[in-house]
Amino acid sequence: MSSKSTIVGIDLGTTNTSVAAAIGTKVTILTPGDGTRSFPSVVSFPEPRQVLVGAAARARITTDPGRTIASPKRLLGRKHADREVQTLIGGAPYPSRAADDGAVVVEIDGESYAIPQLCAHLLTEAKRIAEQHLKQPVTEAVLAVPVSFDETRCRALETAARLAGLDVVGLIAEPNAAALANRYIAGFAGLIGIYDFGGGTFDFSIVDVSRSRFQVVAAMGDAWLGGDDIDTVVAEAAANQFWRQHKVDLRRQAVEYQRVRFACEEAKRTLSTASSTTLHVREVLRTTDGMVDLKLALDTRTLARAAGAIIRRTLDVCQQALRKAGITGDQLTGVYLCGGSSQMPAVREAVQKFFGVPIHAGVPPEQAVCLGAAIHASLIAARRSSPAIPTPRV
């Protein structure tokens, strides 16, 4: 291994995966080539021994859900018999079973796929993107992990990396990575809270950045709490309304219900910047009078009510971290948001009210974890070569 080889940072997110690297004195998100800064964490098997990942796989959620697996990270390192796992796979359109060691195995067209294998396909795509940008082989990476990942789940992630041809040279907790990414933002000083609300996990860290090297004071997380859960609540409400109108339960129709969930996610994203939208899923029911659409008017207030219990759960995790640190929320200098779900207006309002201190976006929330992982990677590379090399900035 050449000492000049680049160590990349990867954020294997529940919803999206991204990769970044230090290029010169700047850490940069490496784009897939379609103008986006990440790709969907979705794997699909349209034919035996044919694998699609990213956007091409996500497009199949609504057409071939039985061969398409979204958010495999939620199952990584978990037992098939776990209550949360049973809740998740119970509504999944693809078949699964328990492996000899109790782990989850997905079965498609007679082939069995362990969850690390599915995650490996996502990491392989991140590796490909990095190699395309850097014009060199990429064999080492720093991976960001949720605070709630225990040793078993971290080992499962490392197994996925090895299957993708990557040597894991470091793991960094996702909110700590976000703190690294924001460390050079003006005003990032004192006792900082990092509120990381992603697609499938929620983490909160309290970081002391009053010195040159910041120190994590306390961190708590919930591995089964994320934006996906908000999508589920909205989809359930839409399905219930459709049942009341037409006496048909869309949840029993795999393809149609996946289309509803897809539309709910899109509506949630729209309501991050707009005050209202229409959840519209075309032709979900065939009747003697023709095809019937699902339509549901949504606004930010309705979404806030639907997501209220989930948002309160994130604040419960924050309260646990505050107790662990022995402080109250108003003793923080500020709270920095990261993760795509933190962009919901209802989330920002709830966080502001709970802490009563300035709320900041800083580095773009959906990029902060990946950029922080790449900064951590650059620090490892710098220690290998020379301590005099400056730390790249975002």
State pTM to two decimals: 0.92
242 and 270 part of one domain:
yes
232 and 293 part of one domain:
yes
Residue 41, domain member (yes or no): yes
pLDDT computed for residue 149 by the predictor? 95
Residue 145, domain member (yes or no): yes
155 and 64 part of one domain:
yes
Residue 96, domain member (yes or no): no
Helix (H) or strand (E) holding 112: strand 111-114
Are 185 and 365 in contact by the 8 Å Cβ rule? The answer is no
Token pair recorded at residue 355: 């802490």
Q: Give the mean pLDDT per block of 10 residues along the chain (394 residues).
A: 76 96 93 88 94 96 93 96 92 92 95 97 98 96 96 97 98 94 89 94 93 87 93 95 94 90 93 95 90 94 96 98 97 94 95 96 91 96 71 54
47 and 164 part of one domain:
yes
pLDDT computed for residue 1 by the predictor? 39
DSSP code at position 391: P
pLDDT computed for residue 393 by the predictor? 54
pLDDT computed for residue 394 by the predictor? 54
> What pairing do the DSSP bridges indicate for beta strands 104-108 and 111-114?
antiparallel
44 and 135 part of one domain:
yes
Residue 86, domain member (yes or no): no
Give the CATH number, domain containing residue 291: 3.90.640.10
278 and 345 part of one domain:
no
211 and 318 part of one domain:
yes
Please give the Cα distance from 294 to 17 (Å, whole number): 31
pLDDT computed for residue 2 by the predictor? 43
219 and 244 part of one domain:
no
Q: Where are the alpha helices (DSSP H) in the chain?
A: 55-58, 83-90, 115-134, 151-163, 174-182, 227-246, 254-270, 300-325, 345-355, 368-385
Beta bridge partners of residue 249, listed in sequence order: none
381 and 284 part of one domain:
no
Give the CATH number, domain containing residue 44: 3.30.420.40
Considering its fold, how many domains does the chain have in total? 3
Please give the Cα distance from 105 to 13 (Å, whole number): 20
For residue 1, count CB atoms less than 10 angstroms from its CB and return exposed for 0-12, middle for 13-18, buried for 19 or more: exposed
Instruction: Give the structural domain span for 300.
Output: 227-304
- Looking at the chain, the number of H-run helices and the number of E-run strands are 10, 19
Are 27 and 374 in contact by the 8 Å Cβ rule? The answer is yes
Please give the Cα distance from 66 to 74 (Å, whole number): 18
202 and 331 part of one domain:
yes
pLDDT computed for residue 34 by the predictor? 76
User: Closest Cα to residue 25, out of 296, 394, 392?
Assistant: 392
**Helices 368-385 and 174-182 sit at what angle, rounded to 10 degrees?**
80
Please give the Cα distance from 278 to 283 (Å, whole number): 15
Residue 262, domain member (yes or no): yes
237 and 142 part of one domain:
no
236 and 266 part of one domain:
yes
Residue 346, domain member (yes or no): yes
Beta bridge partners of residue 27, listed in sequence order: 22
Residue 141, domain member (yes or no): yes
